[in-house]
A and B are shown apart, each in its own frame.
With several copies, the nearest count.
Chain A
């Protein structure tokens, strides 16, 4: 893939984007709830041409010694080579790990799930909640799409029955104890211009990035700066405000089901 870095950067300097969006405008966002029957919860999220699957699987296991009455959250992300010619020689492990950890902390640190309600017998048996992100098509801004997909899957997940000995995956009824719906908003700085929701091309030329996750009450639950340049303090202050604002809009989209099983 050949990206004309100069062109993208020159556009950005003029406050213009190759796809004609406004600096703080997202691409079209589509969310499908529960596209799959095997996982306890699942979602497909498209932001423009970026397509991400999230799946929730529940199992029963032993709690961590330092939190004996809490369920266990394990988030994982995979950059499947189907998603991009860049992943030809093996996906960039560093980026996949960072993505997984942002999704993990977005759920964990926001206390999105009441983990104590996932305890079965304190110190002995708790629900193990696996949140798996699977990237199908990479056109930039995988973080926002992944956090959206994970939150959507948490919303539609249903817990299988457990009789103390065996899990019955054929009967799923109870919803997860979801308290908050965290969403992430990612900004990119190209030269002196700042935009939201960077495409693949834009993220290739960005100087710095900033992802801010927020909760329903507008509180910030996670920040991650990326990229090889810095932000001024003033830029940070501005973007934190923008993120709270735009997070609200993203959260509203989570209630609607775009219902397309077409990537």
Chain B
């Protein structure tokens, strides 16, 4: 396995320009905005709140619900609003990527709703969405075992690289997103499409997990900034 050289000058294992901001939506219990290059994901968390109708409740834990959707103007060609087979599948794997991180048993009979809006799509939207959702859950004050970090890898001219952008992705049919909880060494999402020898899969996993640690620090920093700001606002209000 050799490393790819890239049009935008990045190294094979280098992620795009990353920006994470927590607490961006006043109405939501928690929220976060993640941009990774041109890809922009927004997540809002509402809850825990009572789940209706009753027969959907779980008596011993909260139900985590995730909806993934894209704004119609977020892609080069306008994409029609409303759920697609793709967005329904992504909603499911996103939920399963987040569930291991949340102490759901603390909120029986409730629902915790995570809404992910892709505001702009330039590859890597499902992993950007998971990063945004992770920060939004923490911002909502929901008890978590760990943050969930996610990144996708792919192939450029036969060589592997991390965090492909849209132009790069057009030229490949290899895509391997993962989500990861570093503290416990848990891989909570793993998908792959393409054609890879067993050994390559393992090596790409190594690469991706390394990048995950970068996202881990960025998520923690964004939350720290959010709490500092909230404290300052609180102080200003008390003084005011």
Does a CB–CB distance below 8 Å link A and B in the complex?
A: yes
- A residues within 8 Å of B by Cβ? 36-39, 42, 49, 51, 53, 55-57, 59, 76, 78, 80-85, 88-89, 93-94, 97-98, 100-101, 105, 108-111, 130, 132, 134, 136-139, 169, 210, 215, 218-233, 236-237, 240-241, 244, 262-263
B91, B191, B209: the one within 8 Å of A233 (CB): B209
* A101 to B193 alpha-carbon distance, docked (Å): 11
Once A134-B71, A236-B190 are accepted as A-B contacts, the answer to whether A139 and B27 lie under 8 Å apart by CB is: yes
Q: Indicate if B211 sits at the interface (CB-CB under 8 A).
A: no
Q: Nearest 10 pairs between A and B by C-beta?
A: A55-B73, A230-B186, A82-B44, A223-B192, A39-B73, A57-B78, A228-B99, A230-B188, A225-B190, A109-B193
B127 at the interface (CB under 8 A from A): no
User: What DSSP secondary structure best describes chain B's contact surface?
Assistant: mixed
- CB pair A132–B71 under 8 Å, yes or no, is yes
Smallest beta-carbon distance B216→chain A, Å: 15
Nearest to A89 among chain B residues (CB) is B52
Residues of chain A within 8 A (CB-CB) of B202 are 237, 240
Q: Are A231 and B201 also in contact (CB < 8 A) when A82-B42, A85-B46, A109-B195 are?
A: no
Dominant secondary structure of chain A at its interface with chain B: mixed
B-side contacts of A36, CB under 8 Å: 40, 73-74, 119-120
Taking the closest CB of chain A, its distance from the CB of B57, in whole angstroms, is 15
Stretch at the interface among B3-11, B81-89, B232-240: B81-89
Across the interface, A82 reaches (CB within 8 A) one of B31, B52, B72, B194, namely B31
In the bound complex, how far is the Cα of B26 from the Cα of A262, in angstroms?
Answer: 11
Please report the total number of B residues contacting A with Cβ < 8 Å.
Answer: 66
Given A97-B88, A109-B195, A229 contacting B119 (CB threshold 8 A): no
Q: Give which listed residue, A51, A110, A218, A236, contacts B197 with CB less than 8 A.
A: A218
Residues in A whose Cβ lies below 8 Å from that of B99: 228-229
Establish whether residues B88 and A240, one from each chain, have CB atoms under 8 Å apart when the complex forms: no
Interface contact B71-A53, CB-CB below 8 Å: yes
**Nearest CB on B from A170, distance (A):** 9
Contact sample, A vs B, 29 pairs, CB 8 Å cutoff: A36-B74, A37-B38, A38-B120, A42-B73, A57-B73, A78-B81, A80-B117, A81-B115, A82-B43, A82-B115, A88-B113, A101-B86, A130-B72, A132-B73, A134-B72, A137-B26, A137-B27, A220-B198, A221-B195, A223-B201, A225-B188, A227-B96, A228-B99, A229-B186, A229-B188, A230-B187, A236-B187, A262-B24, A263-B25
Q: Is there a chain A Cβ closer than 8 Å to B153's Cβ?
A: no
Complex CA gap A113/B144 in Å reads 45
Q: Assuming the A-B contacts A80-B69, A101-B89, A223-B176, are A59 and B78 also in contact, with contact meaning beta carbons closer than 8 angstroms in the complex?
A: yes
In angstroms, Cα B189 to Cα A228, docked, is 10
Residues of B contacting A222 in the complex (Cβ-Cβ under 8 angstroms): 192-194
Q: Smallest CB–CB gap between B138 and chain A, Å?
A: 17
Q: Does B77 contact A (CB under 8 A)?
A: yes
Q: Check A38–B76 contact: CB distance below 8 A.
A: yes
B100 contacts A by Cβ under 8 Å:
yes
Q: A138-B27, A220-B198 are in contact. Are A225 and B185 (CB under 8 A)?
A: no
User: Pick the contact of B73 from A38, A228, A241, A262 — CB < 8 Å?
Assistant: A38
A85 and B91 CA atoms in complex are apart in Å by: 20
A94 near B88 with CB under 8 A, answer yes
Give Cα A169–Cα B122 distance, bound, in whole angstroms. 14
> Hey, which chain B residues are within 8 Å of A132, CB to CB?
71-73, 78, 81
CA distance A94 to B83 in the complex (A): 11
Q: Which residues of B contact A224 (CB under 8 A)?
A: 93, 190-191
Question: B222 interface residue, CB < 8 Å from A?
Answer: no
Contact of A38 among B26, B74, B89, B191 (CB under 8 A): B74
Contacts of B111-135 to chain A: CB distance below 8 A:
113, 115, 117, 119-122
Do residues A136 and B42 form an inter-chain contact, with CB atoms below 8 A? Answer: yes
Residues of A within 8 A of B85 (CB): 97, 100-101
Q: Is B75 an interface residue (CB 8 A)?
A: yes
A80 and B78 CA atoms in complex are apart in Å by: 17
Taken together as a complex, chains A and B put the C-alpha atoms of A195 and B92 apart, in Å, by: 23
Q: Which residues of B contact A108 (CB under 8 A)?
A: 193
Nearest CB of B to A158, in Å: 14
A226–B191 alpha-carbon span in the complex (Å): 9
CA–CA, A84 and B28, complex, Å: 7
Given contacts A223-B192, A226-B93, 12 further A-B contacts (CB under 8 A): A38-B73, A59-B77, A78-B71, A80-B69, A82-B42, A85-B27, A88-B46, A97-B88, A105-B193, A130-B72, A134-B71, A218-B198
A54: nearest chain-B partner, CB-CB: B73
